[in-house]
Chains A and B, each alone.
Chain A
Amino acid sequence: MNDIALSLDTVWMLLAAMLVFWMQPGFALCEAGFTRGKNTANILFKNFVDFMFGSLLFWFAGFGFMFGSDGAGFIGAPNWGDLSFYKGELPVEGFLMFETVFCATSATIVSGAMAERTKFSMYVIYSAVISLLIYPVEGHWTWGGGWLSDATADSFMMQTFGDVFHDFAGSAIVHSVGGVLALIGALALGPRRGKYAKDGSSRAIPGHSLTLAALGVFILWLGWFGFNPGSQLAASGEVNRTAISHVLLTTNLAAAAGGVATMFLTWWKYGKPSFSLMLNGVLAGLVGITAGCDLVSPVGAVVIGLLCGLVLVYSIEFIDHVLHIDDPVGASSVHGVCGILGTLLTGLLSTSNGALYGGGWGFFGAQCFGIIVIDLWAAVCGIALFYGIKKLHGLRVDARIEDEGLDVYEHGETCYN
């Protein structure tokens, strides 16, 4: 490849990495807005912890677990801060940065679902474990060249499905894993005090600033323009410049369709269009399109966005009213449910090998199988981690601390003075 082309690809990758980093404040503001002002320092702090610990641990060992020399397709060899093992055309340090921001995105999804009641110290432990192990291992199975993405003719995936698992930018790998851990974390914690009445009915606990939440969602929307188009990891040449343009379009269409679907569904269900749920609807569309943004047509992207926006509302209702799992920001529905849905819909709507485009059911089967094993891994790790912490040390702050706010007791600093 010529030198200028490689430089162009590198610049695009680094720019995309910066945009994906910018999703961290998006998550931080979104989560802060959907929760109460007495816990704002705490939730913002957790978002910083995710990025800080993620940056250090992913550089030190996670990157190796994910991309290091393969151990039976299951896990790479840890690199212990040494990047020399990596043999790719792009500069390894830039590539590490790009992968780091994806790892930190997965990690930071969970903080919203566990908001307003988790011990800060225990959250730090969770955050370290996902960046060091949970994310890099399933990342190795897929993007790291492990068993789910092994396209050699005699590999398990090719023998069974005739196709490999495809997740372009991480509906499954990043978002559904974060979403599953969010659900298990919220379940292990139990609901916030006062969330459910004695008769089991769910109470509204309005967040303290939908303004902040709205800004957060717009920032995430922008960040996604790095998340998805950046995952092409190249910009030079006709193939790449066409691909990143296509991915930018499908990403945006799905986001818009997700928000519109939620707006009209809530309008019909509740008599008024719900702003807070529409914000989630935009994110649902974005999460949903992430797996197949390179393979689906613009029409397919709109379909994915609409379906994710609709399913989101019912998912939030089901998790809240039926399962009684208290997820203050809807992370388990947005990232978990819509991440899974988007991964599956890619198997149907891919214009090259999707079932609805005459590609047969092999690819859809690969998507189903892939999402099951990835989220099973996340679930097993999540159960071991959160219930382990709960049993050994306790995951949740005392009732009095919860009532008066985590900011005062966990940090001694409050956001609004």
Chain B
Amino acid sequence: MKRIEAIIRKTKFEEVKEALLSSDIDWFEYHDVHGIGQSRQERIYRGIQYSTDVIERVALTIVCRDQFVQPTVKVIIETAHTGEVGDGRIFVSDMIETWSIRTGEHGDTVLRDKK
């Protein structure tokens, strides 16, 4: 059982979402994140030019059984890719245990990814 975390472009979220739903993942979480990086964006407010280093991205969190890690990562890389700097990162880490609140079952079988 693994946790996949992906930081992707906001503009790519819809595409990645559709691709994940049509692959074998039936639940994932996402949230808007603000990151600070080396790149700057020029802004103007009331005649004052300033630069912001805040970069807005969407973070996806997917917990799945081991056999789904490679296909899921592949789907994200294919759909979130533009080729420009800033496409994002994917992190995979071990997940130790999981419980279903409704049934009290535990183990990776409670994950409702298909097959």
Contact = CB atoms under 8 A, between A and B. Distances in A.
- Most A CB contacts (10 A, CB to CB) among B45, B47, B50 go to B47
Nearest to A279: B46
Interface string B43-57: 111111110000000
A204 B44 CA distance: 8
B44 A320 contact: no
Contacts of A206: 43, 45
Contacts, number: 34
Contacts of A269: 47
Interface in A312-350: 313, 316-317, 320, 330
B3 to A, nearest CB: 32
Interface in A202-216: 202-206
Interface string B29-60: 00000000000000111111110000000000
A206 B46 CA distance: 8
A316 B46 contact: yes
Interface residues of B, number: 8
A202 B45 CA distance: 11
A318 to B, nearest CB: 11
Interface SS of chain B = strand
B45 A276 contact: yes
Interface residues of A, number: 17
B48 A202 contact: yes
B45 A320 contact: no
B47 A277 contact: yes
Interface string A184-205: 0000000000000000001111
B47 A270 contact: yes
A330 B50 contact: no
A203 B48 contact: yes
Interface in A226-272: 266, 269-270, 272
Interface of A: 202-206, 266, 269-270, 272, 274, 276-277, 313, 316-317, 320, 330
21 contacts: A203-B48, A204-B43, A204-B44, A204-B46, A204-B48, A204-B50, A205-B45, A206-B43, A266-B47, A269-B47, A270-B44, A272-B44, A274-B44, A274-B46, A276-B45, A277-B46, A277-B47, A316-B46, A317-B47, A320-B46, A320-B47
Interface of B: 43-50
Given A203-B50, A330-B46, 6 more contacts: A203-B48, A206-B43, A272-B44, A274-B44, A277-B47, A313-B47
